[in-house]
A = this chain, B = another copy of it.
Amino acid sequence: MTLKLGVIGIGAIGKDHIKRIHHKLSRASIVAVSDVNREQTDAFLSQECISAMYFENGIDLIQSKDVDAILVTSWGPTHEEFVLAAVEAGKFVFCEKPLAVTAEGCRQIVDAEIKAGKRLVQVGFMRRFDRGYRQLRNVISEQEMGLPLILNCAHRAPAAPGFFGDMAISDSLVHEFDVLRWLLQDDYVSAQVIQPRGTRLCDEGLQDPHVILLRTRDGILINIESFVNCQYGYDIQCNIICESGTVSLPEPSSLQRRHNARLSTEIIVDWQERFVDAFDVELQEWIDATLAGEMNGPSAWDGYVVAVTADVCLKAKHSGAIEAIDIPEKPTFYQ
């Protein structure tokens, strides 16, 4: 059985997912695409030897009876409309982050989905599918080293040319916000944002790095460093201090060299390399879950909670104070 997929938005990530599904994954085929730029879309499909229907309008693609399920990889502000349309059409939909550009928009999707009576939406938080994070989660859920007390995390990128304002928080930290609460099976209750001495090696006017402190219901302290102009590489760290030991994400596998008076391994520079395997697992599991009719990845509710968290962090950044994060009771629908 093969899942017939329609993809809305054929930009960088849309192309990546199409290539992944076509060349590396099983049990799905791309049958329909929609994008504002038909010419480029056609060129891409023909280059990849994929024949798929073209829809000028994403809504039409969603409603097409030839399409079983939808991938939304279009421009962020359009996500909400497409996801709502998919839910209304009763079709499974995988939406790249953000689920919607506002927490309110996410909430609407949650409400629509609850009304539809069936989990249909998955959000593209791929870190949950990374082998390292999954191993970390096992260590915690089996209490191999007792309870977790403190998490020290870092999200570092060599440079962020287009970044301005609060994008470090609203755009890249959302992955941490999702994966850490999934890791801990806990929720956030407060946030504080500290702006240390800033690096000079970034665009003028940008504050970089930030340190975000989150507390959870269980009292766990999470320290996240966001440093998007760290120069040296793309480096995602997560170190958990438990009652009887600590455990950290694996360093990405690398040759070991002895050269020029250094014993060294390589640090990834290109972020796309870091989670390439996680993307594969994420989409294959989504395809398989969709074929089985049961969503189990990051839900619309998760997308909503992350949006609320990001909003409070922005507030905390500007106030300098410890701000409360009020997340409503999780609907039984999502339990």
Contact = CB atoms under 8 A, between A and B. Distances in A.
A223 B222 CA distance: 12
Interface stretch (A76-84, A142-150, A165-173): A142-150
Given A132-B255, A213-B194, A245 B218 contact: no
A330 interface: no
A131 B253 contact: yes
Contact of A248 (B148, B223, B256): B256
A124 interface: no
Interface stretch (A93-101, A227-235, A297-305): A227-235
A197 B218 contact: yes
A284 B218 CA distance: 46
Give the copy number: 4
A35 B241 CA distance: 42
Contacts of A152: 152
A249 B265 CA distance: 11
Contacts of A243: 199-201, 231
A211 interface: yes
A252 interface: yes
Contacts of A225: 150, 241
Contacts of A259: 145, 232, 244-247
B261 A255 contact: no
A65 interface: no
Interface of A: 22-27, 131-132, 135-136, 139, 145-150, 152, 194, 196-201, 209, 211, 213, 215, 218-221, 223, 225, 227, 230-233, 235, 241, 243-269, 284
A283 to B, nearest CB: 12
Nearest to A23: B26
Nearest to A216: B197
A218 B218 CA distance: 34
B253 A253 contact: yes
A223 B235 CA distance: 19
B211 A196 contact: no
A227 to B, nearest CB: 7
B258 A232 contact: yes
